[in-house]
Amino acid sequence: MASETITTSEYIKHHLQNLTFGQKQTEIEPGVWAPSGELGFATSAQEASQMGFWSINVDTMFMSILLGALMMWFFRSAAKKASAGIPTGMQNFAEMVIDFIDDTVRGSFYGGKNNLIAPLALTIFVWIFLMNLMDLIPVDLIPMAVAQGAAVAFGADPHHVFFKIVPSTDPNATLGMALFVFVLMLYYSMKIKGPGGFAGELAFQPFGKWALPINLVLETVTLLAKPFSLGLRLFGNMYAGEMVFILIATMYGAGLVLGSFAGLLQVGWAIFHILIITLQAFIFMVLTTVYLDMAHQEHH
């Protein structure tokens, strides 16, 4: 996609834009837009923004579902092929991951027995890790293939076809997962403590019943901050990492010397980014476990 026909700024903006599908808008008068009744893909960032809340980032959905299906296929295949004899490489790897998650959950969750926590932690860790891992694929490879495919199949302008392959660089994905964790937190808080106990925890902690307004404000802010920090932390780290890869890619068109230096930078950043990819998946998983553990704990 980096070519003589687009500027560096356009190249960066192109790679930061999702493939968005929704209801297109029409300008009924200067500065005033209204739904046109036509559904389609956005051809610019402005058009994607105008589609509003109910638009869908197709690339995020496609990659998330694809990676989720790959994760389920891998563990299902490992389980079906598991034997008491000499384990295969797939079985060894699957058991290593499961043991790692099991040890982590045992060290973070003390809220009694809950058969959901360990499978949820495993799903979160592996799924987010796979999403993050897409960041190591060269930034032009799949977007260029999608753009050229759309041009051949549908006659689309390649510069108007977007495709982000890292779902965790989309705040809709990370905040969506965090919202699901938040719902589980509320569910188990209500289930374990009861509505009255949960309300009392918000109203009477940490300063007692005589400081009810202050307690309510502090505890409500703390409660709401958990899903936002969970989702935005993952998004911010992965978005920044992807931005670095994109900036390095812009150097390839700046001559042989800078292009060679960019190759070294890309390899170095990719090696370092492997740590970030794994760490962010681990942090999201651990914090989810800790938050659910807190939802199971009754304060007296």
What are the residue numbers of the active site? Answer: 229, 233, 237
Q: Which two tokens stand for residue 127?
A: 């799924």
Closest CA to 130 of 80, 165, 155: 165
Place of tokens 């192109």: 14
Do residues 280 and 233 touch, judged by C-beta distance below 8 A? Answer: yes
| Cβ neighbours around 231 below 10 Å, total | 23
What sign for the dihedral angle of Cα 102, 107, 108, 110? positive
Measure the CA–CA gap between 159 and 25, rounded to whole angstroms. 20
DSSP assignment string, 152-178: HHH---GGG------GGGSHHHHHHHH
> Half-sphere exposure of residue 111, counting CA atoms within 13 Å on the CB side?
25
